[in-house]
Amino acid sequence: MAYDPNNIFAKILRGEIPCKKVHETAHSLAFLDINPQAPTHILVIPKGAYVSYDDFAAKAGEAEIVDFIRATGHVAREAGVDASGYRLLFNHGPDSHQEVPHLHVHILAGRPLGPMLVRPKD
């Protein structure tokens, strides 16, 4: 999957599309998901043009990586979900149903989330 500079997250970063921002740092932005899948559903994205976690891990600088990881933890704590638990979800590629070709992590919480994957029926 190639990076598309016109993806929705790139447009949010450029200020072309509004978001409900919950946290921003030099290298990261966190905002509420517009189609929440749990009572708490926050997206954290790096400000750099990375399509996937693998792309980010291979190409991002140390400051970007540290900032993104710390921003994700900070957002979870500020949302008050660290005590009851939360799930971090990264998708990459078509098999995982990645919809936006910009690295993002979903912070999902606020209720029991169930199993990681639905098991196929025999």
Describe the strand order of the beta sheet including 105-109 as a list of residue ranges.
21-24, 28-32, 40-46, 105-109, 86-90
- 104 an active-site residue? yes
Q: What is the rounded distance in angstroms from the CA atom of residue 1 to the CA atom of residue 3?
A: 7
Catalytic residue among 27, 41, 102, 104: 104
By the 8 A CB rule, do 56 and 104 touch? no
Q: Which residues neighbour 66 within 8 Å (Cβ) at sequence distance 6 or greater? A: none
Which residue is listed with tokens 């190409």? 59
Q: Which residues participate in catalysis according to the annotation?
A: 104
